[in-house]
Structure 1
Amino acid sequence: MKNRIIAALALTALPFASLADANEITAGMAPAGILAKSNRERLPKLTLAAGQPIAEEPLRLKSGRFYTLEIEADGSQELALEGAGFFRAVWINEIVIEGIEIRPFGVASIEFDESGKAEISFVAIRPGSYHLTVPGSKGDTQQVTMTIE
């Protein structure tokens, strides 16, 4: 019985030993994984303004990468961005509005009644093509395609 426990412990530790070599752990510090600075990227800002395009081009994301997305509204009109499919395909770390950090369980849309900024940090998870859209709009410029590869 004792030999089985020792063998089980050795087999459990084996994957971690190879991980330590692969990541070159130094000074007893473990790698930060998906939250490491080397895995972070700031996306181009999205703009909400009456009659103006939200983004210059579609955004391509990598699954497992940590992103920060700033959304800015100019206050010219009450506007929102909805995209429940996109928000279900990512893990939202936080939404920051005027220095207030919100850690939501889920999001379907973000609405601006006046000018302001919101910053969303998230990890892309589920590959696919998703849209963030101004509700009720029909034009292609009133949405942005977010493709997670």
Structure 2
Amino acid sequence: MQDALAVITVVVVGVMVGVEFAVAVFVNPILDRLPDDGALAARGAGARVLGRVMPFWYIGSMTLGAVWVVMARGDDGLPFVVTGALLLVVSVMMSAVLLVPVGSRVAARPQGGAPEDRKERVGRRDRLHHVRVGVIVLASTLFAVALTR
């Protein structure tokens, strides 16, 4: 049972990392090449879609990590699982406190005209997103290491 849980956790977190990495490294830079209104409209649409899915994915990943911690008591990989699970908690906190408020403003933006501070807001959000991606990449890596122990 623990082995199945570990594999499911690695897959679920790994796919989440892939989505977040793709958004950070490929999708957002492509969208930023669109004219201001187009870029904001596309980011808003993306924020609305991902804003519905990602909370469940993040919390589900964090829950899988927590259950793995409980089941891995006494295993060689426990320190890796604990650290990975804690990093997922950090990523959820970062999302709730730092990223969701900015994403909600982008998703709720009225049509027409870009706000004057658009570049600063988007730049700040992207920098925070890159940090969060780094956090979940590290968590995923630690889970993969734990799986092999």
**TM-score (normalizing by structure 1):** 0.27
Please state which structure has a larger fraction of its residues in helix.
Answer: 2
As a proportion of its length, which structure holds more strand?
1
Report which of the two structures shows the higher radius of gyration computed on alpha carbons.
1
Q: TM-score scaled by structure 2?
A: 0.27
- Between 1 and 2, higher relative CO (CA 8 Å, sep ≥ 6) is seen in 2
